[in-house]
Amino acid sequence: MEKEIECHPWTPYIPYGAKILFVGSFPPDSSKWSMEFYYPNWINDFWRIMGLLYYDDKEHFCDVASKSFKLNDIKAFLQEQKIAVGDMAVEVRRLKGNASDKFLEIVTPLSLGDVLQNMPECRALVATGEKAAQEIAMQMGIAVPNVGEYVEVKVDGGDLRVYRMPSTSRAYPLALTKKAEHYRKLFVEMGML
């Protein structure tokens, strides 16, 4: 029996003047969400890494009592820092019924060309996991960068860095502080920290 196709619940969040686009693969099942926005799973460390890098506080965007994230603070931060977020899959099939990228079939990918046309100031595209990095590489016609590194590509006459970062999922076996070091290096290289 073929698995049901699931549609992404959100469109990419692109603040005016965004310089960087972070993309994962696809959100977990809604039962795992602590908010209705990107990286919604309470045990995903994306927002903790952002808090650590920009506020020296991994819980800056966390409402620990309710085990949720502070969505208004997150959106204000993204607008201020000119950071966009999205996912590389628009439609998927969950082959095992979980959030693991290993068992996620991308049926309809995000069209990077369309998204980047709405981001004229974008200078970096950042995959926050292997599945996203593979889909970006396929669309851009490049090799998948090593974790923590980037490949430079020409897009509409300008240079765009395509980074691959360690996954912010706790399933990825690297300590939060070590993951944050990779992300810090990226933001420093981009002149955003």
Domain ranges of the chain: 5-189
Sign of the dihedral defined by the CA atoms of residues 75, 154, 179, 171, in that order: positive
CA 186 to chain centre: 13
Q: Are 121 and 19 in contact (CB under 8 A)?
A: yes
The domain covering 5-189 belongs, at the CATH homologous superfamily level, to: Uracil-DNA glycosylase-like domain (3.40.470.10)
Q: Per DSSP, what are the bridge partners of residue 22?
A: 85, 126
pTM score, two decimals?
0.94
* 42 Cβ neighbours under 8 A, 6+ residues apart: 32, 34, 67, 68, 69
Give, in degrees to the nearest 5, the angle at Cα 143 between 9 and 115: 35
Share of the chain above pLDDT 90, in %: 85
Chain segment 41-84, per-residue pLDDT in tens: 999 999 999 999 999 999 999 999 999 999 999 999 999 999 99
What is the distance between the alpha carbons of residues 30 and 114, in angstroms, rounded to a whole number? 27
Q: How far apart are the first and last CA of the chain?
A: 49
